[in-house]
Every structure is written in structure tokens, then in C-alpha cells.
């Protein structure tokens, strides 16, 4: 693993933070997970835009120029191949709810080798289950940010793994589909692309946005709206998306088989050809 703290390379084995750090004490951090190939980060500016928007919303320090320079340095050291990049923002030390001065803020970049999903997952699809926990406050803006307090997603993702599933899907209290613990979700029904609307506890995923752009370029019908679980069960096909997997078809949800079609593969092929897109 390559680690860069505030523009300085450090060892992943060295202690970097103390017990007073707010990211450890309160889960008070923001992060982005990005995919790089041969030294190029896909959709870098989109990731940084989202991070900056979140930082502005909750008053986080975010030195974009310094972060970009450190990312480039880390990728040069990483060399060729596929990499996963975790970029984390922290405020520094504080032990009460009184926030510290922004001058104590930091960023941490971690670069590790990565692999594409298995061919079988891309071809045959993955198993999903319904998360046991619900998202119930549609007025909260926090799930729309990638933040360190990841308890609901960790709980759901671990539940999915314990059941042999790739992803857990969140529902509202009314049973409407939201997103996965680590992904956005799309349905195809009657040649229309459907996905849950933003602003209702749904993260504005980077690949989600690109899928919608591609669908527009292909002149597909698109609907962003409330989606019931029954609509998912009856979909012509469904797929999940995030920055590391691009898209993966959904084969089953709980015990319900989901039909498969050509569009998930079409989106996957298009995204694979966009390594350098920003």
C-alpha cells in the first residue's frame, strides 16, 4: 500500500493519528473511492467535485490543489496496472462537539492494487438481498455524502456477505428501493431505464451519473422516481454500479430471480472503454 498524508509519503504501518482524532472518535471524515488504471484516475474531477460539495456542506477543510498534486505523486509511485484509491479528509484532533480550526485538517491518500470483478459476475450476475436495516429520514442529507460514519452500510454489507450475497439493498420504511450498501441500482422495464431519485437518501454515485449520461446519448427513455420492490422483481433486467465494479447485472434478490438482458453488458462495455474520461 502507498500512503500519502498531506503530500508526504508515509508508511502504512506507522501510527498516523492519536486517540483525539475526530475521524476515530466521532467517525467525522469524508472520503472518495476511485479507480485508476496505468496512472490515470477515472472521473477524477467528478470525484473531487462531489468531495468538495460535501466538504462545503459540513464545513470541512478541502485543499483541492494539494490533493490533486498528491494524487499524481502517489500514482507515479504506484506504477502501471489497476489500482484502488481511497482519499480521506479529516479535521484533526478534537474531543468535544466543538470543531477545531480548519488549519488542523488533513487528507490521506491510500493506493492499493485492485482487480476487476470476476468474469462470471459480469456475465451471469450477482446475488443481492434486502438489507435488514432501513433508512427512514428523507430529510437527512448525510447519506448523500461519503462519510466515515459508515455504520449502516457496514452492517448491511456484512449481513449480505454472511448470506453469500454480493450486495445488500436499502429500502425506505414504505418499502421503496433506494440503493445498495456500496452501489446504486438501475432497472430496465419496457426499454426504459429506471433508478431511484436523488435527494431521498441516495448517494449521487459517479458511475450512476455516467450511466444516465450514456443512456441519454443512446436516446433511451429514462425515469428517476420512486421504485417499489415489486418493480425490481418484475424488471426486464437490473444492475448495480459503483466506481470499482462499473456495473454488474443482478441475478437474484433474496429468493427472486431477476431476468437478464443485454443492456447491463452494453453499459459495462462502454464504461470499460472510458479509462481516461474525467
Residues in the chain: 278
Candidates 107, 28, 100, 30; CA nearest to 63 is 107
The pLDDT of residue 200 is 64
Candidates 139, 136, 206; CA nearest to 175 is 136
- Is the pLDDT reported for residue 229 higher than 80? yes
Do the beta carbons of residue 9 and residue 109 sit within 8 Å?
Answer: no
Q: CB within 8 A of 32, min separation 6: which ones?
A: 47, 48, 50, 51, 85, 86, 87, 146
Name the band, by pLDDT with cuts 50, 70 and 90, for residue 50: very high
Cell of 244: 470499482
The pLDDT of residue 142 is 67
Mean pLDDT, residues 10-18 taken together: 90
Cell of 5: 498524508
pLDDT tens digits, one per residue of 112-139:
999 999 999 999 999 999 999 987 665 5
Name the band, by pLDDT with cuts 50, 70 and 90, for residue 143: low
Do strands 2-5 and 221-224 pair parallel, antiparallel, or not at all (unpaired)?
A: unpaired
Rounded to whole angstroms, how far apart are CA atoms 196 and 220?
Answer: 17
Share of the chain above pLDDT 90, in %: 78
CB atoms within 10 A of CB 21: 20
Terminal C-alpha separation, the chain: 24
Name the band, by pLDDT with cuts 50, 70 and 90, for residue 209: very high
Q: CB within 8 A of 93, min separation 6: which ones?
A: 18, 20, 21, 22, 100, 104
Lowest mean pLDDT among 34-43, 128-137, 233-242: 128-137
- Is the pLDDT reported for residue 145 higher than 90? no
Mean pLDDT, residues 141-169 taken together: 89
Mean pLDDT, residues 235-251 taken together: 98
The pLDDT of residue 15 is 87
Mean pLDDT, residues 159-170 taken together: 97
- Is the pLDDT reported for residue 276 higher than 80? no
The pLDDT of residue 149 is 85
- Is the pLDDT reported for residue 141 higher than 70? no
What domains appear along the chain, each with residue ranges and CATH number?
A: 2-113 (3.30.470.10), 119-272 (3.20.10.10)
Chain mean pLDDT for the chain: 93
pTM across the whole model: 0.93
- Is the pLDDT reported for residue 144 higher than 90? no
Do the beta carbons of residue 219 and residue 9 sit within 8 Å?
Answer: no
pLDDT tens digits, one per residue of 98-108:
788 888 899 99
Q: Please tell me whether residue 109 adopts helix, strand or coil conformation.
A: strand
Name the band, by pLDDT with cuts 50, 70 and 90, for residue 90: very high
Amino acid at each position: 500500500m502507498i500512503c500519502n498524508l498531506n503530500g508526504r509519503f508515509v508508511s502504512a504501518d506507522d501510527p498516523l493519528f492519536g486517540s483525539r482524532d475526530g475521524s476515530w472518535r466521532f467517525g467525522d471524515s469524508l472520503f472518495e473511492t476511485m479507480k485508476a488504471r496505468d496512472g490515470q484516475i477515472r472521473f477524477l474531477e467528478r470525484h473531487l467535485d462531489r468531495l468538495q460539495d460535501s466538504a462545503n456542506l459540513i464545513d470541512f477543510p478541502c485543499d483541492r490543489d494539494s490533493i490533486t498534486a498528491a494524487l499524481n505523486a502517489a500514482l507515479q509511485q504506484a506504477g502501471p496496472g489497476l489500482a484502488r484509491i481511497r482519499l480521506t479528509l479529516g479535521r484533526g484532533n478534537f474531543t468535544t462537539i466543538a470543531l477545531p480550526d480548519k488549519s488542523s485538517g488533513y487528507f490521506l491518500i491510500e493506493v492499493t492494487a485492485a482487480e476487476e470483478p470476476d468474469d462470471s459476475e459480469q456475465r451471469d450476475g450477482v446475488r443481492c438481498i434486502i438489507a435488514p436495516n432501513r433508512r427512514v429520514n428523507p430529510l437527512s442529507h448525510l447519506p448523500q455524502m461519503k462519510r466515515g460514519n459508515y455504520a449502516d452500510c457496514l452492517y448491511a454489507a456484512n449481513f449480505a456477505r454472511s448470506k453469500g450475497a454480493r450486495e445488500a439493498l436499502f429500502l425506505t420504511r414504505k418499502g421503496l428501493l433506494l440503493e445498495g450498501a456500496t452501489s446504486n441500482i438501475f432497472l430496465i422495464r419496457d426499454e426504459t431505464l429506471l433508478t431511484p431519485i436523488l435527494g431521498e437518501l441516495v448517494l449521487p454515485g459517479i458511475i450512476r451519473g455516467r450511466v444516465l449520461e450514456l443512456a441519454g446519448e443512446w436516446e433511451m427513455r429514462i425515469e428517476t422516481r420512486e421504485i417499489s420492490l415489486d418493480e425490481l422483481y418484475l424488471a426486464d433486467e437490473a444492475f448495480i454500479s459503483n466506481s470499482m465494479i462499473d456495473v454488474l447485472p443482478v441475478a437474484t434478490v433474496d429468493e427472486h430471480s431477476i431476468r437478464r438482458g443485454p443492456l447491463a453488458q452494453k453499459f459495462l462495455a462502454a464504461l470499460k472503454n472510458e479509462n481516461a474520461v474525467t
